Each structure stands twice: as C-alpha cells, then as structure tokens.
C-alpha cells in the first residue's frame, strides 16, 4: 500500500494519477483550496477503493500555513511514499505585461508557493529517508516564449530549484522527479486553441507519471516526443528565436 500526498489535488492531471494509484492500494492526503471539490475527489477515490482519504484545505499561496498543513498530512499518513506537487495556474500573458500585481501574483502561485512548499516537504522527507517527490513543472520552463513567458519563467524557476534539490535529497535516499508535460487537455487549457495533434488527455500524462516514479526517472517529458522537441527549441540561437511567433 502506498501513502500519497498531493498538493493541488483538484488538478485534472493529479486526479488522473490518483485514480491509477488507487488500484495498487493507497491512502491519500489531499491538499487544495476548494473544499467542496476536494471532498468530491475524496469520495471518488474512496468509491474506487482507496483505503483512506483525508482532505486539507489550503491555498498554496498562504505560505505561513504550509508547515501546519504538512504536519496534518503527516499525521494522517504517517509516512509519505509519494508526494505530488501539482497546483498551478495559466496566466493571461497580455495582462501580465501591463499589470505588475497580476504578474507577481501569478509568479508567486506558480513558483514561490512551490518553492516554499518543497522547502518544508524536503525536510520531512529527508528525515524519513525514502520516498519520491514528483513536481509538475512544464515544457514552458525550458525556454521563455513571447506568448507565455510569465508562466514559463515561473516554471523555469521550479525546474532549476528541483534540479538542485534532487541532488541534495539523493544523498538522503529520497528521489525527486521533475515532470514536464506538453499540451494536456485539462480545464487549464480548455479555452486555448492548441495544435490538436500534440494534445493528450490527462490519463496519458498520468500513466507516464506513475511509470516514471516507479522507474526513478529524474526528468520526465510527457508525452515522450517533447524530449525531442525541446532540445531543438533550446538549441535555436536567440537571434532566430526572438523572430519566431511562439
């Protein structure tokens, strides 16, 4: 039986992962900011066979409450085998270009809250001496595109932070996997006109995440073809990249 903690548990990708974990027997501690939706997910997981689900209401931007909530999760689970950090928002880039407060709020939600939470979580996991932390970053963090660079820069911060933290945790026997999804069909992207051929459903990504964790992957591109696309994009010189409308 696995003991699983999820931050941003109302995310479609997180939900799809949780349903996969249920099959092998699991206890969950779910963190999210919408109590009603968290409850709905908890009931669903229980009906699907989860052994126990506890819900913890928290807006991840309330940094001062992280330690307390984490404590409550540990009390419910005792030990954490897998911690998935999934929360995030996709800002309106245009708005971020004219409103400093929007830009910083979005950066805070996508980067600062993640870094803060990981800092608290890493200490607990280090003490525990085993388990996996999986953090959802994004391919968007691999290169800042003009259409989406506020979000991209926040995810870049998360990716770099995780890269360093992975080394530190490795010495303590804890694994950290950075997840870089491409385009996933979830509430976050429903309003966008994405290239259909590149879009996958959350179940697809969840399957990759669950397997990636089992195999101890360090960085997971999902679906796999992003592992080929992103190096090409990164390899483009700035003199060309700045001219491309991406």
Rg (CA), the chain: 18
Q: Tell me the C-alpha distance between 2 and 221, whole Å.
A: 24
Helices (H) and strands (E) in the chain, counts: 10, 9
DSSP code of 91? -
| 47 is a contact residue toward another protein (CB under 8 A) | yes
Using the rule CB under 8 A, which residue among 164, 173, 187, 231 binds another protein?
Answer: 187
Residue nearest to ligand NAP (CB): 88
Nearer to ligand NAP, 25 or 147 (CB): 147
Minimum Å gap between C-beta 88 and another protein is 16
DSSP 198: G
Q: How many residues of this chain interact with another protein, rule: CB under 8 A? A: 18
Q: Minimal distance in Å, beta carbon 65 to another protein?
A: 23
Question: Each residue of 115-126: b (16+ CB within 10 Å) or e?
Answer: bbbbebbbebbe
Answer yes or no whether residue 222 interacts with ligand NAP by CB under 6 A: no
Residue 159 contacts ligand NAP per CB under 6 A? no
Is residue 40 involved in binding another protein (CB under 8 A)?
A: yes
Q: Is 214 in the site for another protein (CB under 8 A)?
A: no
Structure-block tokens of residue 178: 């950075």
Q: Which is nearer to another protein, 51 or 126 (CB)?
A: 51
The dihedral through the CA atoms of 67, 164, 102, 56 has a sign that is negative
Answer yes or no whether residue 37 interacts with another protein by CB under 8 A: yes
32 binds ligand NAP, rule: CB under 6 A: yes
Q: Which of 1, 62, 104, 194 binds another protein (CB under 8 A)?
A: 194
Strand partners, 3: 27
CB-based contact 31:114 (threshold 8 Å): no
Q: DSSP labels for 99-157?
A: -HHHHHHHHIIIIIHHHHHHHHHHHHHHHHT--EEEEE--GGGTS--TTSHHHHHHHHH
In the set 18, 55, 184, 210, which binds ligand NAP (CB under 6 A)? 184
Contact yes or no for 225/240 (Cβ under 8 A): no
**Closer residue to another protein (CB): 193 or 238:** 193
Residue 74 annotated in active site = no
Enumerate binding residues for ligand NAP (CB under 6 A).
Answer: 8, 10-13, 32-34, 37, 59-61, 86-89, 109, 113, 136, 138, 181, 183-184, 186-189
Enumerate binding residues for another protein (CB under 8 A).
Answer: 12, 36-37, 40-41, 43-44, 47-48, 185, 187, 189-190, 192-194, 196, 199
Catalytic residues: 151
């Amino acid at each position: 039986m696995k003991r699983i903690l999820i931050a941003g548990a109302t995310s479609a990708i997180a939900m799809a992962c949780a349903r996969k974990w249920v099959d092998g027997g699991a206890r969950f501690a779910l963190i999210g900011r919408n109590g009603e939706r968290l409850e709905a997910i908890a009931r669903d997981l229980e009906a699907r066979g989860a052994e126990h689900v506890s819900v913890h209401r928290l807006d991840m931007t309330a940094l001062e409450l992280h330690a307390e909530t984490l404590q409550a999760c540990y009390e419910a689970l005792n030990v954490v085998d897998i911690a998935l950090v999934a929360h995030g928002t996709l800002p309106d880039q245009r708005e971020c270009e004219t409103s400093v407060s929007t830009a910083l709020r979005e950066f805070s939600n996508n980067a600062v809250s993640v870094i803060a939470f990981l800092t608290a979580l890493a200490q607990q996991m280090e003490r525990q001496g085993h388990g996996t932390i999986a953090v959802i970053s994004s391919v968007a963090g691999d290169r800042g595109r003009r259409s989406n660079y506020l979000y991209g820069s926040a995810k870049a911060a998360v990716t770099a932070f995780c890269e360093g933290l992975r080394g530190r945790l490795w010495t303590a026997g804890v694994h950290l996997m950075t997840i870089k999804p491409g385009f996933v069909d979830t509430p976050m992207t429903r309003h966008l006109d994405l290239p259909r051929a590149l879009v996958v459903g959350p179940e697809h990504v969840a399957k990759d995440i669950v397997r990636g964790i089992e195999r101890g992957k360090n960085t997971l591109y999902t679906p796999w073809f992003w592992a080929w696309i992103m190096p090409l994009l990164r390899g483009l010189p700035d003199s060309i990249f700045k001219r491309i409308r991406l």
